[in-house]
């Protein structure tokens, strides 16, 4: 069986240091934005008592979902015994941890009172999915760290059953993590746009697509930095097929969710709002999620090589999928809150407190800066990890 040789990221170019410096600058700006919002209060954001989860939550959930999907390559190698994916298993684990750290950083800094996190970590209400997620998120970091250890420690490498067991544990935990994240919305019965069991598999499918898309972009970036082709033609074809498969799966589950809601009488109102009358939310759903995030990536990936080079198409499709992913999470979180709460089903409710009206929300610049900083935190962690430890495949040799 072939043996993979790994190495650290060496012989750095100005491009590498420039990219790392840019991410560090974005993180610093994001921290300043978080301080500005904490100092002045959420009145400087677009959020209100009707819109309690804003743009930072969109980025946080997007990154947490991506973290689970980024582990996909390692899972394919260990759990499904596809050895062709083994050279990228270490990088897959690093990306999974980096994206989760980035997402959780945004989540904590968007609390308004980050010091209240201590209460959340010491006082649990296990009827709340949020309490479960504290264990899922911290446990994911620990499990993936152990998984990486089994890949890298020489004494463990001679016992592949240990790595395989760690791979199964990581695979199960990542599914539980994404199920928990999707269930945050699926368990919210008060919001008609949420409250659906399909939210869990929908988020799992989304994690597969977004995690692999980010992995493809990072691998291509490292290929440019190391001036050698890390991804072979065979693996590029495998990744392309997986991107198509995951995009189609996400599109299928999205269609099933909305068709099911259209069939249920008390869900028709929210479906009409999202699919036709929601203004920016309708535009983001059809143009952002469906067209840019699903249809165009599949079309680009299926183009013949004579029309578009395979790797260029994969990079373009990955960028489109990630942009569509942000639109999907935005419509899910913001659009779901914007639709009026139905406090008394079957009855008319009138008051002076805007009951029955769509909640207005305009993201502020500090919110955007904090959200983007989460992505830069993930990329900064990844860059430092690749610099310090041998996570990149260098070559494959025979035993």
Instruction: Please report, for residues 212, 242, 302, 303, the alpha-carbon distance to residue 307 in angstroms, rounded to integers and kept in the order given.
Output: 24, 21, 10, 7
| 63 alpha carbon, distance to own chain's centre | 4
Query: Is residue 138, in this structure, part of any structural domain at all?
Result: yes
Q: Which structure tokens are listed for 352?
A: 């002076």
Query: Is residue 23, in this structure, part of any structural domain at all?
Result: yes
Polymer length of the chain? 399
Q: Exposure of 263 by Cβ count < 10 A (0-12 exposed, 13-18 middle, 19+ buried)?
A: exposed
Considering only CA atoms, give the Rg of the chain. 22
Confidence grade of residue 11 (pLDDT, cut at 50, 70, 90): low
Strand 2-7 relative to strand 392-398, pairing: antiparallel
Please write the tens of the pLDDT for every residue from 180-214. 888 888 888 778 888 888 999 999 999 999 999 99
User: How far apart are the C-alpha atoms of 364 and 114, rounded to whole Å?
Assistant: 20
Domain count across the chain: 1
User: How far apart are the C-alpha atoms of 135 and 367, rounded to whole Å?
Assistant: 27
Residue 1: its pLDDT value, please? 44
Query: Is residue 131, in this structure, part of any structural domain at all?
Result: yes
Are 125 and 131 in contact, with CB atoms under 8 Å apart? yes
CB atoms within 10 A of CB 71: 31
Question: 30 vs 265, which has greater pLDDT?
Answer: 30
Query: Is residue 282, in this structure, part of any structural domain at all?
Result: yes
CATH number reported for the structural domain that contains residue 364 in this entry:
1.20.1630.10
Asked whether the predicted pLDDT for residue 78 surpasses 60, the reply is yes
Query: Is residue 139, in this structure, part of any structural domain at all?
Result: yes
Query: Is residue 348, in this structure, part of any structural domain at all?
Result: no
Are 235 and 280 in contact, with CB atoms under 8 Å apart? no
Nearest CA-CA partner of 78 in 7, 179, 148:
148
Question: 383 vs 230, which has greater pLDDT?
Answer: 383
Query: Is residue 349, in this structure, part of any structural domain at all?
Result: no
Query: Is residue 31, in this structure, part of any structural domain at all?
Result: yes
pTM of the predicted model, to two decimals? 0.92
Are 210 and 321 in contact, with CB atoms under 8 Å apart? yes
Asked whether the predicted pLDDT for residue 397 surpasses 50, the reply is no
Mean pLDDT calculated for residue range 106-130: 76
Q: Which structure tokens are listed for 103?
A: 């997402």
Give the residue numbers spanning the domain of 41.
2-343+354-398
Please write the tens of the pLDDT for every residue from 312-364. 999 999 999 999 999 999 999 999 999 887 766 667 767 666 666 888 899 99
């Amino acid at each position: 069986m072939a043996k993979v040789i790994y190495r650290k990221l060496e012989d750095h170019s100005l491009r590498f240091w420039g990219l790392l410096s840019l991410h560090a600058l974005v993180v610093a700006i994001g921290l300043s934005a978080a301080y500005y919002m904490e100092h002045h209060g959420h009145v400087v954001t677009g959020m209100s008592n009707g819109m309690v989860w804003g743009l930072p939550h969109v980025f946080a959930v997007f990154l947490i979902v991506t973290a689970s999907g980024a582990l996909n390559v390692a899972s394919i190698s260990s759990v499904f015994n596809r050895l062709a994916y083994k050279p990228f298993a270490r990088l897959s684990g690093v990306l999974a941890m980096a994206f989760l750290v980035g997402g959780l950083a945004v989540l904590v800094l968007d609390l308004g009172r980050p010091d209240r996190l201590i209460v959340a970590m010491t006082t649990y209400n296990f009827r709340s999915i949020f309490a479960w997620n504290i264990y899922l998120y911290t446990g994911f970091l620990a499990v993936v760290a152990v998984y990486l250890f089994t890949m890298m420690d020489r004494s463990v490498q001679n016992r592949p059953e240990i790595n395989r067991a760690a791979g199964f544990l990581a695979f199960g935990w990542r599914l539980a993590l994404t199920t928990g994240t999707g269930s945050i919305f699926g368990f919210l019965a008060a919001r008609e746009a949420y409250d659906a069991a399909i939210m869990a598999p929908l988020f799992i499918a989304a994690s597969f697509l977004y995690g692999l898309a980010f992995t493809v972009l990072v691998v291509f970036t490292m290929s440019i930095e190391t001036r050698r082709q890390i991804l072979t033609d065979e693996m590029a074809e495998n990744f392309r097929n997986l991107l198509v498969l995951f995009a189609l799966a996400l599109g299928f589950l999205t269609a099933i969710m909305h068709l099911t809601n259209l069939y249920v009488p008390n869900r028709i109102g929210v479906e009409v709002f999202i699919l036709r009358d929601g203004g920016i939310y309708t535009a983001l759903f059809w143009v952002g999620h469906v067209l840019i995030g699903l249809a165009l990536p599949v079309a680009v990936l299926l183009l013949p090589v004579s029309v578009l080079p395979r790797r260029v198409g994969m990079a373009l499709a990955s960028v489109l999928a990630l942009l569509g992913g942000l639109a999907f999470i935005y419509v899910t979180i913001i659009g779901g809150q914007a639709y009026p709460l139905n406090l008394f089903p079957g009855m008319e409710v009138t008051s002076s407190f805007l009951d029955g009206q769509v909640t207005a929300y305009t993201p502020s610049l500090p919110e955007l800066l904090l959200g983007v900083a989460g992505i830069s935190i993930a990329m900064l962690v990844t860059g430092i990890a690749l610099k310090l430890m041998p996570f990149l495949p260098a070559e494959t040799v025979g035993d």
